Structure 1
Amino acid sequence: MTATTNTSANRNTNKEAFLNTIASKLGRERRIEVQRPAIRELIPNSYGPLTQDDLVEMLKEQCFFIHTQVIETTRELLQRTLDDLLEANGGGTVMTSGDPRFREYGLAFPDAAVWEEAAGRAENIRRAESANTAIVFADCALAESGTVVVESRPDQGRSLHFLPAHYIAVIEREKLVLRSTDAAAAFNRRIQAGEPVGSSINFISGPSNSADIEMKLVVGVHGPLRATYVLITG
């Protein structure tokens, strides 16, 4: 225990000496207290004031470049919109997250598998591997990059986003923000408020794309072949 304490003390002494030397070379005193900028200020918004309508248009434009379909729908037509997409994907097995918003929106998919903690990790992964289409709700979406942000939670594991051939992310209009710093600020507020946050945060921008070999774009190497964002606008 004494050896460990001494080692730690030596490291702190060396650190302080190093930092003091740097400050001396710069010709100024050590700055002990540093005022960190707010997360949102790390990348200034060069667009000026943006409305939610502006963000919607930005999302649709960006998704064109990342090979992702964006479909606008309403709360009342959400079930029909998703059913039509499942049919367009060729039917097959559907897997959803256990997100309570499926119940809140009155969504039902007969015989669909659900990611649930009680099933266990191995069984949930097996279900995801067997599913043709995954349907999830985005925790938020980034208009600038066409990215959906999803937490890993007991009712929604990472494999659900990557193993099925088709991926559908439902985005609520009010969850659409400009960029990653806005999402990070929202998560930071939750953490400061003592709210639980997922074990990992996944940023997903469309289907799997890889151009590592001879600069030829290949879709679906390490993720879904097709991604669709369903945006609830009313």
Structure 2
Amino acid sequence: MTVYGKESFLNTIAAKLGRERVYDVQRPDLRPLIPNSYGSLTNDDLIEILKEQCYFIHTQLIESNSEILQTTLNDLIHANGGGAVITSGDDRFLHYGLSFPNSFVWEEAAGREENLLRSEAANTAIVFADYALAESGTIVIESRPDQGRSLHFLPTNYIAIIEKERLVLRSTQAAADLNRRVEAGEPVGSAINFISGPSNSADIEMQLVVGVHGPLRATYVLI
């Protein structure tokens, strides 16, 4: 790909900023800005914060554990009206011994179009959160070959499983861990998605409409 006018464009930006062009860009050290603790907040406190925030973002929060996780998810699928289920290819499904009838898995081998068709046909999507932000009720999901972005937006119902140790206060802590992984040379997803409950829009006359750009219902299962 040929880039036209790059130098003149950057020169104009520098001039507007009233400084010389910067050619050697150094990555800033953000570590001093990232707190290592939540002060007096405990993990149980974070759970209470998450519960409160889920109320405001119209998201159901269910507490479960590894022993009854399969039953919890089966009950939710039934409450959603049954139908097809799609999951990510996350290894944690095997770790917890989870399986579902009438289900598909987002997998790289199936190809993009087939994965899109599976997601569109699914009534419920089930994924594992990579992180959960208590303060905003947000789950953080990486886009990887085993879970594309459309997996989170096309099904009618969305279930995110949150492991207790993945719960942090806010995006600062999630970003710090992602930064650690990058510096350690660990693979990180091609995109980082921040999802806060079901799709919501109040663009037209400030009237809240749910489900315009994604799932109608979202449920977090905390284990």
TM-score, with structure 1 as normaliser:
0.83
1:127 aligned partner = 118
Structure 2: how far apart are the matches of 1:197 and 1:108? 26
Say if 1:192 and 1:80 are closer, same or farther in 2 by CA, change over 3 A: same
Moved more, 220-229 or 47-56: 47-56
Q: Structure 2 unaligned runs (5+)?
A: none
Question: Do 1:97 and 1:135's aligned partners in 2 also have CA atoms closer than 8 Å?
Answer: yes
Q: Does 1:161 align with 2:152?
A: yes
1:76 aligned partner = 67
1:176 to 167, 175, 180: 167
Structure 2: how far apart are the matches of 1:11 and 1:212? 34
Equivalent position SS for 1:223: coil
Question: Do 1:95 and 1:114's aligned partners in 2 also have CA atoms closer than 8 Å?
Answer: yes
2:53 to 54, 62, 71: 62
Paired positions, count? 215
Q: Does 1:148 align with 2:165?
A: no
Question: Do 2:83 and 2:102's aligned partners in 1 also have CA atoms closer than 8 Å?
Answer: no
2:104 aligned partner = 113
Q: 1:181 offset after TM fit, Å?
A: 1.1
Equivalent residue runs for 1:152-231 within 5 Å = 152-231=143-222
Structure 2: how far apart are the matches of 1:194 and 1:97? 24
Can you list the C-alpha shifts for 1:131-152, whole angstroms capped at 9, x where unaligned? 0000000001000000000000
Specify the code of the residue in structure 2 equivalent to 1:165: T
Specify the code of the residue in structure 2 equivalent to 1:208: S
Equivalent position SS for 1:54: helix
TM-score, with structure 2 as normaliser:
0.87
Equivalent residue runs for 1:48-59 within 5 Å = 48-59=39-50
Name segments (4+ residues, structure 1) moved above 3 Å.
32-37
Equivalent position SS for 2:222: strand
